[in-house]
DNA sequence: GTGGTCTAGACCACG
DNA sequence: GTGGTCTAGACCACT
């Protein structure tokens, strides 16, 4: 389920958080779903249990998952409310990067072309994701 | 000239590199200009000389500045050639965050509106800067 | 493993970089191999950790090694691609010193004899190494 | 007469020494010739007098020039003896670089080809120098 | 004065 | 344990 790139500079725990977030946004993980236990995921990914624990703590902090004592971690029922926040922050990131690009001398046309490339027709889009 | 945010998670030396890059892109720093000496900038920013040195080394590595023995650091005459690369990488960054945003469920309209905000008419832009 | 000459004019960190490069070229260090940790090498060579760090940063910049967060420095899997470049630059260096030698009045015979000495038969070569 | 590259990493005083050496080797500067005074050369090259002085001291140390009190610096009459040494050291440098190249995996053929390029026919050689 | 290298020792995030 | 960043202060070569 998760794909860890040990050579990447982004921390392993953050890779797990990001991928979980992506699964939530795309609906692959629905509220109420049980997350794998720390131990099992640790074995699956060949990653230190501490690292998994850290990822789960971060997910809990963001309101994505809720621990059920004695049962495990579950996708929070209120996860939908958080996803709006996530999208808003993504938009903020985009805005920041655009401002940087503009300061670097990128024209509106450059950016529009880039947007075009990303939001192209559905048929071509499907295999990209 | 430089603005250092000591609380930021991005390293001080990288902040200096980025800001220098921005000055170059906006034309504030022209080829042949002398950079502040390691020691003087160190005092100005209340930052250790080693940290400044690291920033300058990175700038030299990227081809933005050249040391003149016993004289100081100077903006490279060939800096123009590097800036194209910088712009290209900025565009790549934009593309990457756009893809992320799209995966997060942002619509093309959302993004277009964001682009509009950044590249809006001059009259409205003025008070932003 | 490494031999540092503290009296040499070539910086310690550069000696480490060069020797590592030599180990890579000769196949002593294969992709995936773990480099000694900054601290341990620092103790081994009686050199400040910062100096080792600088050497490792340079090696990373050249694409020879990759840091794995929390694990250590590892020889890059793509190191083979870089070695071709290294050989090319070595050849350039040779060309440069040959030109200098020629300008200094060295004859082709002088140089050929020198090449002979370096690339002599295996039996004679053995005791040189 | 001298060509100084301020942007070069090799020290200015060393550039002067090297070029003088080259002039001696090629016979442009003959024994007994008077070198320009420190002051005049300093003005000519827009270089600090201390730097010229350092170059001259180095040239004197190597036995290339002799100061004549009240007259100036003159190319030493015994310069011929030194030039043999210079050629010998050049050959040593070549040998060292060849060894490095061999360790880097360069074949004899690679090197021979390089030698060929440098020592090609006279007609083609002329415009290279 | 300049940049470049180095030591000594600290703190941080990551696993 | 790992690498990465930073401070404090030193020495060097070059101009």
For the segment D107-116, what is each residue's pLDDT rounded down to a tens digit? Answer: 888 888 888 8
Q: Residue B129: CB partners within 8 Å, gap ≥ 6?
A: none
> Who has greater pLDDT, A60 or B121?
A60
| SS3 state at A47 | coil
For the segment A59-96, what is each residue's pLDDT rounded down to a tens digit? Answer: 999 889 999 999 889 998 888 888 888 888 888 889 98
For the segment B61-109, what is each residue's pLDDT rounded down to a tens digit? Answer: 999 999 999 999 999 999 988 898 899 999 999 999 988 888 888 888 8
User: Does the structure show a pLDDT above 70 at D124?
Assistant: no
Is A in contact with D (3 or more beta carbon pairs below 8 Å)? Answer: no
Alpha-carbon distance of C11 to C8, in angstroms, equals: 7
> Which region among B16-20, C13-17, C122-126, D5-9 has the lowest average model confidence (pLDDT)?
C122-126
Q: What is the pLDDT of residue C123?
A: 46
Query: Which pTM was predicted?
Result: 0.85
D→C contacts (Cβ < 8 Å), by residue, are: 22, 25-26, 83, 86-87, 90-91, 93-95, 97-106, 108, 110-112, 114-115, 117-119, 129
Q: What is the mean pLDDT of chain D?
A: 86
Which chain A residues are within 8 Å of C73, Cβ to Cβ? none
Inspect the interface and report whether the beta carbons of B66 and D12 lie closer than 8 Å. no
Of A88, A110, A86, whose CA–CA distance to A98 is shortest? A110
Long-range contacts of B101-104 (CB under 8 A, 24+ apart): B101/A87, B101/A90, B101/A91, B101/A93, B101/A94, B102/A118, B102/A119, B103/A22, B103/A25, B103/A26, B103/A129, B104/A22, B104/A25, B104/A86, B104/A87, B104/A90
C44: phi then psi, degrees, rounded to nearest 5: -55, -45
DSSP of chain C: -----TTSSS-HHHHHHHHHHHHHHTTSS-TTPBPPPHHHHHHHHT--HHHHHHHHHHHHHTTSEEEETTTEEEE-TTHHHHHHHHHHHHHHHHHHHHHHHHHTT--HHHHHHHHHHHT--HHHHTTT-
Inspect the interface and report whether the beta carbons of A9 and C68 lie closer than 8 Å. no
Interface test with D, best of B57, B60, B69 (most D CBs within 10 A): B69
Residue B30 in tokens: 């022209």
Residue A116 in tokens: 């075009």
Share of chain A above pLDDT 70, in %: 93
Strand-pair partners of D73: D67
Shortest Cα–Cα distance, C69 to chain D (Å): 31
Interface test with C, best of A7, A8, A10, A12 (most C CBs within 10 A): A7
Residue ranges in D1-48 assigned as alpha helix (H): 12-25, 38-45
Helix (H), strand (E), coil (C) string for D59-98: HHHCCCEEEECCCEEEECCCHHHHHHHHHHHHHHHHHHHH
Strand-pair partners of A74: A34, A66
User: Does the structure show a pLDDT above 50 at D24?
Assistant: yes
What CA–CA distances, in Å, run from D118 to B88, C34, C104, D76?
A: 39, 41, 13, 31
Alpha-carbon distance of C94 to D97, in angstroms, equals: 6
Q: For residue C70, which nucleotide's C1' is closest to its Cα?
A: F2
Alpha-carbon distance of C79 to C63, in angstroms, equals: 7
Q: Cα-Cα-Cα-Cα dihedral of C49, C52, C58, C59, to 10°?
A: -130
- Among protein residues, the one whose C-alpha sits closest to the C1' atom of F6 is B51
Alpha-carbon distance of C46 to B18, in angstroms, equals: 35
Shortest Cα–Cα distance, C3 to chain D (Å): 16
D65-68 vs D72-75, strand pairing mode: antiparallel
Kindly report the bases of strand F lying within 7 A of a protein C-beta atom. 1-10, 13-15
Of D99, D118, D96, D120, whose CA–CA distance to D108 is shortest? D99
Buried b (16+ CB within 10 A) or exposed e, D41-80: bbeebebeeebbebbbebbeebebbbeeeeeebebbeebe
| SS3 state at B62 | coil
For the segment A12-49, what is each residue's pLDDT rounded down to a tens digit? Answer: 999 999 999 988 888 888 898 999 999 999 999 999 99
For the segment D68-84, what is each residue's pLDDT rounded down to a tens digit? Answer: 998 889 998 888 888 88
Of C91, C89, A34, A114, whose CA–CA distance to B90 is shortest? A114
What CA–CA distances, in Å, run from C21 to A50, C62, D108?
A: 36, 10, 21
Which chain D residues are within 8 Å of B71, Cβ to Cβ? 6
Inspect the interface and report whether the beta carbons of B94 and A103 lie closer than 8 Å. no
Residue with tokens 């795309």: A26
User: Does the structure show a pLDDT above 70 at D100?
Assistant: yes
Alpha-carbon distance of C78 to A45, in angstroms, equals: 23
Of A62, A108, A19, whose CA–CA distance to B111 is shortest? A108
Q: What angle do CA D116, D119, D122 make, to 5 degrees?
A: 125
Q: Which helix (H) or strand (E) holds B73?
A: strand B72-75
What CA–CA distances, in Å, run from B112 to A26, B88, B115, B119?
A: 22, 21, 5, 10
For residues B101 and A90, is the Cβ–Cβ distance under 8 A? yes
Shortest Cα–Cα distance, B29 to chain A (Å): 13
Which chain A residues are within 8 Å of C79, Cβ to Cβ? none
User: Does the structure show a pLDDT above 80 at C112?
Assistant: yes
Query: Once rounded to an integer, what is the mean pLDDT over residues B2-23?
Result: 94
For the segment B13-25, what is each residue's pLDDT rounded down to a tens digit? Answer: 999 999 999 999 9
Inspect the interface and report whether the beta carbons of B91 and A97 lie closer than 8 Å. no
For residues C16 and C52, is the Cβ–Cβ distance under 8 A? yes
């Amino acid at each position: 389920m998760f794909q860890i790139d040990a050579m990447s500079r982004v921390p392993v725990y953050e890779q797990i958080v990001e991928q979980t977030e992506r699964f939530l946004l795309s609906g692959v993980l629905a509220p109420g779903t049980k997350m794998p236990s720390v131990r099992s995921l640790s074995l699956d990914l060949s990653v230190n249990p501490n690292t998994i624990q850290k990822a789960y703590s971060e997910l809990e902090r963001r309101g994505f998952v809720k621990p059920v004592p004695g049962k495990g971690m579950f996708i929070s029922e209120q996860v939908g409310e958080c996803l709006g926040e996530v999208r808003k922050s993504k938009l903020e990131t985009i805005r920041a990067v655009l401002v940087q690009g503009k300061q670097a001398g990128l024209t509106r046309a450059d950016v529009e072309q880039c947007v075009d490339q990303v939001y192209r027709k559905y048929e071509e889009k499907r295999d990209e994701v």
